Copies of this chain bind each other. A is one copy, B any other.
Amino acid sequence: MSKRIAGPEIERLIQLLSKVPGLGPRSARRAALHLIKKKEQLLAPLAAAMGEAVDKVRVCSTCGNVDTADPCMICTDARRDSGTIIVVEDVSDLWALERATAMNAKFHVLGGTLSPLDGIGPDQLNIKQLVTRVAEGGIREIILAVNATVEGQTTAHYLTDQLSGFDVKVTRLAHGVPVGGELDYLDDGTLAAALKSRTVF
């Protein structure tokens, strides 16, 4: 039985903080103490920001992104090419691709991958909405930016099937050597794919 060291409000704050990814029980205590010490500069603004997020954050009914507006900022951005949709598994993938700022396209978030063993079929993912977007017309290219895992590739094949009836180009991300990567540390599959898809220097 561990002794109570502070009031229940502080214990509860520590307990909830320990559930945040990146924080464990020990770092949650350190974080709670830091927040309490910086009550006015950090704890109060963070509490307000979280409260506002609870009230305002919603899932975009068009693309499945999370934002404080529906449709989201990306769907309503007129400067983006609305003829290209990048399909991702998760919002974190969307954020990663946006940070890379490689394309000025629209997005579609599936919310996961097909995984029959976990009971995740096409109806559990945001797939119907994607087909609807393509059926509405104006889409030239669908880029399947799913993870290079078995589930990701299965999902990519299923989506290709679903979109085969439409006049739309379906592409996927290139396999190859990561920029800055050393060949010696790469797996055989990646090296073979990089050789096969070699480009003119």
The distance from the CB of A63 to the nearest CB of chain B, in whole angstroms, is 12
Asked if A192 lies at the interface with its beta carbon under 8 angstroms from chain B, I say no
- 1/0 contact trace for A16-44 toward B, CB 8 Å? 11011111000101110111110100111
Contact of A30 among B6, B10, B92 (CB under 8 A): B92
Contact call A51/B51, Cβ cutoff below 8 A: yes
Asked if A56 lies at the interface with its beta carbon under 8 angstroms from chain B, I say yes
Asked if A198 lies at the interface with its beta carbon under 8 angstroms from chain B, I say no
**Of all chain B residues, which has the CB nearest A92?**
B33
Contact call A21/B30, Cβ cutoff below 8 A: yes
**Of all chain B residues, which has the CB nearest A19?**
B42
Asked if A54 lies at the interface with its beta carbon under 8 angstroms from chain B, I say yes
- As for how many copies of this chain the complex holds, the number is 2
Contact of A3 among B20, B53, B98 (CB under 8 A): B98
Contact call B47/A54, Cβ cutoff below 8 A: yes
Asked if A81 lies at the interface with its beta carbon under 8 angstroms from chain B, I say no
Contact call A73/B22, Cβ cutoff below 8 A: no
Give the bracket for the number of chain A residues in contact with chain B: 35 or more
Known A5-B95, A9-B68, A49-B9: A39·B20 in contact at CB below 8 Å: no
Contact of A53 among B9, B45, B73, B99 (CB under 8 A): B9
Known A21-B27, A92-B33: A13·B99 in contact at CB below 8 Å: no
Contact call B54/A39, Cβ cutoff below 8 A: yes
Residues of B within 8 A of A101 (CB): 2-3
Known A21-B27, A30-B92, A53-B13: A68·B6 in contact at CB below 8 Å: yes
Question: Which residues of A are in contact with B by a Cβ distance under 8 Å?
Answer: 2-10, 12-13, 16-17, 19-23, 27, 29-31, 33-37, 39, 42-47, 49-54, 56-57, 65-69, 72-74, 91-92, 94-95, 98-99, 101
Query: What are 18 A-B pairs with beta-carbon distances under 8 A?
Result: A3-B98, A5-B74, A5-B98, A6-B65, A6-B68, A7-B73, A9-B53, A9-B68, A10-B66, A12-B49, A13-B49, A16-B45, A16-B49, A19-B42, A36-B57, A39-B54, A43-B50, A50-B50
